[in-house]
Amino acid sequence: MTYRAPLKEMRFFLRELAGVDEVCGQAPFEEASPDLVPAILKEAAKLAEHVLAPLNGAGESDPPEIVEGQVRETAGFAEAYRQFAEGGWSACSASPEFGGMGLPQAINCAVSEMWAAANLSFSICPILSMGAAEALESHGDEALRTRYLEKLVSGQWTGTMNLTEPQAGSDLGAIRSRAVPEGDHYRIFGQKIFISWGDHGMAENIVHLVLARVDGAPGGVHGISLFLVPKFLPGADGIPGERNDVRPIALEHKMGIQGSATCAMAYGEAGQGAVGWLIGEENKGLSYMFTMMNSARLHVGLEGVGIAELACQKAVAFAAERVQGRPLGRSDGTIIHHPDVRRMIMLMKSMTEAARAICYAAAGAMDRARTGVAGAESRAALLIPVAKAWSTEIAQETASLCLQIHGGMGYVEETGAAQIVRDARITTIYEGTTAIQANDFIGRKVQRDGGAELARLWRESGEICSRAEQSNRLAAAADSIREVLGEAEELRQWLLRQNDTTRAAAAVNFLMGCGTLMGACLLLKSALAAEAAMAREPDFHESRIRLCQFFAAQVLPRAEAYFSALRGASLPDQLLSDQALEIA
């Protein structure tokens, strides 16, 4: 079995949930046309299916290694990257001013889902490059944009994000990397860890975006600046020249994504310091980096969708061929006829579709914000932590169910099911753990505006329910969703009255409950669209309705469980006591 891009599902969600057809042709997407979308997705699918997917297991047997101070990537990755760059895929959503296609973010997200599903290890490299280009375009001065952006957008050079340090972890306020002013540039000293694709030989140059402190800067997050540090220093002609004082000093030995070069990086180890240029103003680096981090968080959510889709496809293919036991009511047949196997597959498929719906809706909100639609920016900000956290959490479950359906065969390497489990695991951790996303969701995105944007989302969801209640087939799902909406709105108001400790203790349950409810609402919206289009491709549209019904009946009750557990957060001292945790 090999990956096949779900083009019909992607196009359906892009149209019905992301609203791509509505933003195409509007500034700044003047060059995009709805008619181009199927062709773009089809070409992306060719690369994903025929170039990237065959290399998905290569990193397991041939992981990157450091050879003479440079990372040697997995065999085949360099040629795959050449085809990727020559196809213009690094330029999808970038500005035409710098050689980009200027496509809506939602289209780029659908394409990114394909890369992640086909080969997660490979996909991390270009996604980071896109984020670096976005941060540089938003915050860099004209000289830096002129020198670096076109090369990043074309894929000729790649980009990285350097945040984490050995002693700091996710606490960016504790970073120690230093930046010493020297003329028109700075000298950077320090170490960074967990730097995905921190070094490789696939591109001519690597552009590192590095958080560091200028000497004398305030402590904590308010004293962090952002610097552009190239692997090779470009000459006046823009051609990479002298090697900068930045090197990979180790590769992390990881549980999964073996083909991705995850580096520990040393800046200034040779003594003179790595040459870097300030992006924006001093001490504002963290706010600039959030441009890249928000992009990365959405794309990690899409990694969860891609992994879940791959797990679904692999599970269905195996179950359709595996003969074992006697299915109820049949004299023979494959395990796909066993009721519980069907239950697991429907669970996987419905959760995957819900995760895709949330991610595409977030991307669509980002696109509407760029066209000037009022409130769209707030909607995108609200959805991104949910897209990242909820989608990657369900990726864990779908990967595990894929292995379960394979039975003992899933526990051996030949089937590839075990690799999916290993690869999926990192997605809930990097770019901010589920708890970090949950605290961002409740502490910033909900609390910041008094919960107004979330209340607006729940009202819109109630309107969807009102429409669906007129449908004989969707009325039951709508009734179930409306009941949970009422509880979610009550909890929104309750949480805003609580203290910070209670909100932090409740955060993950609140996000997971809201994510489950958002998924149900979006699937209901898509089912309404499918019902209206039933005359065209009836089998496809029928499947959208069935998945919505299943999700409402079998997955939505989890939201009520999350919300019920959340209530217990009102007693954090009892729940989180030192005695219960056996802390001396």
Q: Which residues are catalytic?
A: 431
The tokens for 454 are: 């979330």
Rounded CA-CA distance 99/122 in Å is 23
SS3 call for 404:
helix
179 forms beta bridges with 188, 214
In the chain, DSSP finds a helix count (H) and a strand count (E) of 21, 12
Helix or strand (DSSP H, E) at 524 = helix 500-532
38 preceded by a cis bond (ω within 30 of 0): no
Distances in Å between the Cα of 346 and the Cα atoms of 278, 306, 324, 368, 411 are 50, 17, 20, 32, 22
How far is it, in rounded angstroms, from Cα 390 to Cα 84? 29
Distance CA 111, CA 14 (A): 11
Beta-carbon contacts of residue 158 (< 8 Å; ≥ 6 apart): 125, 126, 128, 129, 152, 197, 200, 202, 203, 205, 206, 207
Token look-up 């089998």 returns 539
Q: Are 1 and 314 in contact (CB under 8 A)?
A: yes
* Residue 391 near residue 416, CB atoms below 8 Å: no
- The residues with which 185 forms a beta bridge, in sequence order, are 182
State residue 177 phi and psi, 5-degree precision.
-55, 140
Helix (H) or strand (E) holding 207: strand 205-214
* Token digits of residue 346: 């429907």
DSSP codes joined into one string, 60-102 = HHS--EEETTEEEPPTTHHHHHHHHHHTTGGGSSS-GGGT---
